[in-house]
Structure formats: structure tokens, C-alpha cells
Structure 1
Amino acid sequence: MDELRTYELRDPATLIREVAKAVVLGEDTAWLALIRHPSTEQALLRVDPLPIPALLDDDDDISEHLRVATEAFGLPWTNNGKGPDHKAVTIVVRPGFAIFGPNEGVWCRGWRYANHLQHVYTGELILVTEHGWVDFMTDACGHEPRMVA
């Protein structure tokens, strides 16, 4: 197996199981998880609720909400020459198939324009439905955990 880049998750399945133990993955919820050393230690530090629903309209601009949530981590920008030690992972919980679609495109666009200026990698998105979960970056997936009815 190739060595992971510092911003890649070592084990998305373990991460989503840890998140499911920390919070209720209820329908139409969205969460932001902070992970230290994602490619090695992959330590889940916190999981915060996002103040927006998981299901979005195509024209929704969620970038301000994502910026504020990322700033709440308190990880100011540093120029250490090696990149961030932390990663923010968005968990979107919605009904339907565990297949990325237009809704998840709105989430990706929101991250693109969030401009949080924090020393943290962002953009990782895990979708959770009643059928299971899937990680956008790696295509890792599983039947458990799943959305809580």
C-alpha cells in the first residue's frame, strides 16, 4: 500500500464508527469532526453540530456557516513548513441511497468558498444514509453505522 499523504484519513471506517458513538446520526443533520494527524494517529478530537440541515437547495450558500464552524476549532494559521496537523471532516446525514449527488455538491461548493484561514485541511465529506455510509475522497463505504430513524 502506498504511504498516505498527511491530509488523507488512515481509516474512514473507524472514524465514522467513532463519530456514531459520539453523536446521534439523525436524519437531516450535519456534523463537523476534527481529527488530529489524519494519516497516522487519526485521533478524533471533537464532533460539532453544524447549524444547517444536511439537505440543501442548489442555490444555498453555506460557506459562512462552514467558516464559522471551522474558526470555532481555534486552530490559527501557522507557517510550519509541513502543513496542517488537523483535518475537518463533514458528516452529512440524509435519507436516500449512499450515493453522492447534487446535495453533496452544494456541500463541496460551500467548502470551496468558506475561506476559514485556519490551519486545518477541509473538504472531506462522509455521507450517511439509512443504507450505510460512503467517504467521498476514498470511496470507502459500509453498511454500519447508518442513519438513525
Structure 2
Amino acid sequence: MDVLPTYELKDLHRLVREVAAQVSLDEDTAWLALVHRPSTTQTLLRVDPLPVPALLDDHDDISSHLRAAVESFDLGWRRGVGLEHMAVTIIVRPGFTVFGPNEAVWLRGWRYSNHMQSIFTSAMVLVTEHGWLEFMSHVAGAEPRMVRSAA
């Protein structure tokens, strides 16, 4: 049996389905999922809406919003204990399921968030009308998909 590094998710397909069961993956929304022990038991603890839209402009600075969201988890520093939590960003937007300039804004926001919490924040899932894709692992699926807004 292969042992996953602690910063990898055990079952991305299951996680995306669990998130979709808890929240509606509506167009132009963004979510932050908190996962306990991502590489072993992978328990989804909560899914919170982020106070910014999924579609961002290149000049947008979302780092303070991401910092506040992670700090709300109240994990703090835990000396002597390995990292046991992961924050997974879920970006729901129309278009191809390909990471582009919009997602670069999200990655830059995480880079400068300086949240100082004992948590992994590298997992990012893009959800579109075509399915979903995770940034680091390139794991993807056709379902669930984005829910189109009634316009």
C-alpha cells in the first residue's frame, strides 16, 4: 500500500462530491473547504463561502480575504504536531476547465495571504460546466459541474 504525503488528498473525487452535496456550485462562486487528515481519513469538516466572486480581475488582491477565511478556522500554530488540516479552494466559473489568468489571481492571493496557520493551502479545484480539475494533481472529473445562473 502506498503512503501519500500528508499534503495530498486521498480521494479528490469523493471530496468534490461531498462539497457539492453541501453547497450549490453556482456560477461565479468561491468556496473554502476544511479537510482533516487529507491523506488518510480525509474528513470534510466544513465548507465556507468566500466573500469574493470566482471571476477576478488581474489587479484584484484577495489575500486579506483568504487570510481571514483561514484564520476563522482557528487552527493556530501547533508545536510538535504535524500539519493535520488542508484548506481546499473551490472556484466555480464558466468556461473551459483549464487553469488560466483568473486562477493565477487566486494563486497569487494565497501566496500573499500570510495566514500563519498550521494548514496546507495548495489544493485548488476549478469547477465549470464541463466538470472539474484540481490544480496540483491534475485529477479531474465530469461530475459534479457548475450550476448555471438563471439569467
Same fold (TM over 0.5): yes
Stretches of structure 1 that go unaligned for 5 or more consecutive residues are none
Report the equivalent of 1:7.
Answer: 7
State the Cα deviation string for residues 98-130 of structure 1 (Å, max 9, x = none): 000010011001000101111111121000000
Number of residues of Structure 1 aligned to a counterpart in Structure 2: 148
Report the equivalent of 1:111.
Answer: 110
Mapping of residues 18-97 of structure 1, within 5 Å? 18-80=18-80, 82-97=81-96
CA drift at 1:55: 0.3
SS at match of 1:3: coil
Which residue identity does 1:118 align to in structure 2? Q
Which residue identity does 2:15 align to in structure 1? L
Stretches of structure 2 that go unaligned for 5 or more consecutive residues are none
Write the distance in 1 (CA, Å) between the matches of 2:27 and 2:147.
Answer: 7
CA drift at 1:137: 1.2
Write the distance in 1 (CA, Å) between the matches of 2:114 and 2:27.
Answer: 28
SS at match of 1:10: coil
Shift >2 Å, 4+ stretches: none
SS at match of 2:123: strand
Which residue identity does 1:35 align to in structure 2? V
Report the equivalent of 2:134.
Answer: 135
Write the distance in 2 (CA, Å) between the matches of 1:123 and 1:51.
Answer: 19
TM-align CA RMSD: 1.0
